[in-house]
Structure 1
């Protein structure tokens, strides 16, 4: 099941051997903005605070829980956030995810039908001004990548320039089987609560 989805694609997450996907992660890696120093001499680094978030909904699209830097664990314990990174990579791309959200589909509450992932620029820094910012959604753990479902390069895509919020993708349950919708679209929202509302209205 070697998959690298483009936005808008939907896939079933049942594996070829019939086993079910259990653990998945969303990882974000980004860098600080480099700025020219006074009178053009040298450079300085401006910290970038991107925030990965996850919202859980039931089958009526009612919001159940939001996991983000201020709430690092879902009520059922199935969703965990690695913690808030306030700066991004200050010394260049280290290749590691700055924030990771982990979901154990097997222990999610039975009432959860949609698991949506969002990204917001906390200080309102335009995605297009960040030197590198990549997203990967994969099967595995924060230390082990088994299978990548989707990747987005939001720093180098003109689609994201001028935006500070985006919807990454939605896992959804249909006939007791989990599927994935790779969305990868910017929104006009400024704050997380606005992005959650956009997800509810447009992407479930």
Structure 2
């Protein structure tokens, strides 16, 4: 049973049978904006970008994965590719962008892996009809077990913002845990969000 993430919440990456999770997917699903005009409703494409930044134990930024760089240097993190439109014809139930993470392949120097979203064209989260993020075990096309979900579109705190920090996987005593942040930011660019995370969320 997936939990609806709340800000500040921490979750253990432990499966129901007691084993530790080695591979996770972070999927983002969103819809195009409906604009009402003189001649009916028009769909405006929405380009949200799911990204990931890796930091060492001294909070130095050491790697990133995003629509410009689809794989981390250690090949532990992979991005499914850039979706420029969102779901045009309503929610199809599938994630538009998925980032996969294999903890066993992560560089030993990786201590924090942060996930965040930027609205590429600066479209306000409040105008997007639906947008959710989920963390699950499986592959980009097959969900084995969903662990957590975050609903952005229906959270009023995201109104007026175009970027948000989902959360951070962090290493403690050689075990990976997850801290849900769910914080909107005023950042307009990926590079700014990477810095915001470094300064405020590690």
TM-score where L is the length of structure 2: 0.95
TM-score where L is the length of structure 1: 0.94
1:123 equivalent among 121, 124, 127: 121
- Asked if structure 1 preserves the Cα contact closer than 8 Å seen for 2:74 and 2:106, the reply is yes
Change (3 A) 1:178 1:94: same
Aligned residue number for residue 146 of structure 2: 148
1:51 Cα shift? Answer: 0.1
- Alignment of 1:171 with 2:184, yes or no, is no
Q: What SS does structure 1 have at the residue aligned with 2:72?
A: coil
Question: For 2:80 and 2:200, how far apart are their aligned partners in 1?
Answer: 28
Query: What is the root-mean-square deviation of aligned Cα atoms in Å?
Result: 1.4
- Alignment of 1:28 with 2:59, yes or no, is no
1:127 Cα shift? Answer: 0.4
Worse overlay, 154-163 or 119-128: 154-163
Aligned residue number for residue 54 of structure 2: 56
Aligned residue number for residue 106 of structure 1: 104
Count of matched residue pairs = 202
1:90 equivalent among 88, 99, 124: 88
Question: For 1:13 and 1:154, how far apart are their aligned partners in 2?
Answer: 22
Question: For 1:20 and 1:182, how far apart are their aligned partners in 2?
Answer: 18
Question: For 1:128 and 1:2, how far apart are their aligned partners in 2?
Answer: 24
- Asked if structure 2 preserves the Cα contact closer than 8 Å seen for 1:170 and 1:180, the reply is yes
Q: What SS does structure 2 have at the residue aligned with 1:20?
A: coil
Structure 2: runs of 5 or more not aligned = none
Deviations 1:129-161 (A, max 9, x none): 011111111222212323323211111211111
Question: For 2:198 and 2:161, how far apart are their aligned partners in 1?
Answer: 19
Aligned residue number for residue 75 of structure 2: 77
1:89 Cα shift? Answer: 0.8
Aligned residue number for residue 134 of structure 1: 132
Mapping for residues 164-203 of structure 1, pairs under 5 Å: 164-203=162-201
Structure 1 moving runs of 4+ over 6 Å:
none
1:27 Cα shift? Answer: 0.5
Structure 1: runs of 5 or more not aligned = none
Change (3 A) 1:18 1:157: closer
Question: For 2:82 and 2:123, how far apart are their aligned partners in 1?
Answer: 16
- Asked if structure 1 preserves the Cα contact closer than 8 Å seen for 2:25 and 2:140, the reply is yes
Question: For 1:23 and 1:90, how far apart are their aligned partners in 2?
Answer: 30
